[in-house]
Structure 1
Amino acid sequence: MPFRPRTAATGAVLAAAVVLPAPAAAAAAPGWSAAPTGTARTSFYLEGPPGTALTDRLDVRNPSLRPVTVRLAGDGGDGSGAWLAFGSPEVTVPPRTRAGVPFTVAVPRTAVPGSHLGTLTVTGTGPGAPTRIPVRLRVTGPTLSALTVEQVSVTRRGSAVVIHYTLVNRGNTALRPRLAVRADGLFGALLRRPAHTLPDVLPPGARVDRTETWPDPPALDPVDIRLTATAAGGAHDTATASYAAVPWAAGAAALLTLLAAGGGCWVLVRRRRRTGGAGRTDGAPGSAVPGPRQEAPMPGRRTAEPGTPESGATDPGMPDDTTTGSTAVTRTGSGVHG
């Protein structure tokens, strides 16, 4: 069984040597071996909060007739192997002796709560292959799952669109993220990609750059892209980016050209309508055919009906005034008689 946590690391190797029974023949003696102290233990298990020192003991057996020197080292994929400390990296075990070699796991104060897996590797100078023993460590304390989506950008690659983004584990537990992709244009949804599990497992503080490919984006449509990342423990974050298949400068120029053409057509139609309604009609509504022009009578002058002599003729039904022209009108002014 593992020892209880201590508050300080052991400063030196305290090897308790036990003499083993002499073998029947030196040639028949097996090579050295190493295993956790105790019965039927195949790995080390230690547990404690950040900032403590946890100790355990390794048994090294040397049944041969010659001394054996072993080297001790700790390693781990998440850095926990560096927490293993030994009083000396090498231990010499006399012949026919079993040595108990203590070691310490110094848990940093900044250690992330949760499970950590390291390895204690024992390499000997005598006969025998290196021995690797798992060190399972559980750091107690509250856990936090936090995930962010950062640095989202969109680029064109041939006929496809590539979405670039970065995932960052901001919590203190390892996460396997899931990602959903959504794209919306001016007239509604363009892409709905359900959440799918990513192949990366992010340890605390790790970041990974990834891409998503959109093979058939629209040719002419400004698009809003939304990425949603989730993970176990309630981790959740969303980030957005905008994308337009046509550059804004070219699109604005095309829009201005269309507006100018439409405005010119509108002005032309208005002008034609005004011209058609301003002409005099011949009695039919809306006709643009001009009729005969009438001239205003001159004061002191009368006009005669067609076929009437222009001079010397008197109209019996009119006042005794002279008439000229083609249409009869009444003079106005001081010279009109009753």
Structure 2
Amino acid sequence: MRVLHTPTRLGAALLAAAALHGAPAAAADEPGWTAAPAAGRPGTPRPYFYLAGAAGAVLEDRLTLANPGDRERTLTLRGADAYNTPDGALAVRPAGEGAAVAADAGSGAGSWISFGAAATVKVPPHTRAVVPFTVTVPPAAAPGDHPAAVVATEAGHEAAVRVHLRVGGPTLAALTVEDVAVHGSGSSAVIRYALVNRGNVAVAPELAVRAEGRFGEAPGRAAHAVPVELLPGRRVELSEPWPGAPALDRVDLTLTATAPGAAPATARATAWLLPGGTAARLGTGLLALGTLAMAALLLVRTRRTRRERSPEPPATAAAPAPEPELTGASR
């Protein structure tokens, strides 16, 4: 899995190595050559490919490979699926992964890209090579965005450039926010949540946080951009600081996620916010109190049982009455 570098949000600017002039550097392990879309107009660099067409169409574009070094470069070119990693980063599938993995990455649009006989290109020193490629959209392709990339490789070094591909037809922007939880309290509080793209186009989400405590409304967070481009069908798990969280309160939290063209999505959660270590001390105190209460209850029950089982004292036997003396006997 190669993680793509995305200086901007929706649209993704440059995902890896850039053109020789005017574009940001790709990564710290710069391989000595660059890959970028061929300029649309003379002197106008493009940060990524944007292609659109109907199902069944064959689309064309060109990739520029620049070699500013002093030796020849031999580069291998391929198409790849682009997808979100669980933490929201954009990535492409490595070459040779099976269909099951590719299906998990999305629509398989990487397999629609072909460089034909130019899949291997030799670029002389101090030279640019412009390489054409085609995107053949299947007749049964679903409408919406199909994330992909073109990848150039040499000796283990890769540069991937985003292909933003849209198939014509009805589009739907929709997302949900799920699994809201709060960890910590006060200035160290962190909100964790998941975003899911339920539509067929990529979205740039925004998130707002509202909190209601037992002592009144607590500081939340106004709507702000989430630094993720969420691709169709993908789920990402995110977290963000909540510096205004109360240090001690029981809070009802409401998260509202929005995106252009999508209906607002909300999720709610209730959390106890306690100062650091308070939860542990409270739990220990409650455990000790419970232990004492149980011991007292057992003592009372034991004493009651003993009283109920004690035998009653035996009754005192009555003293025998003295026999009467006979009188009037003959002498």
TM-score by length of 2: 0.45
Q: TM-score, normalised by structure 1?
A: 0.44
Larger RCO of the pair (alpha carbons < 8 Å, separation 6+): 2
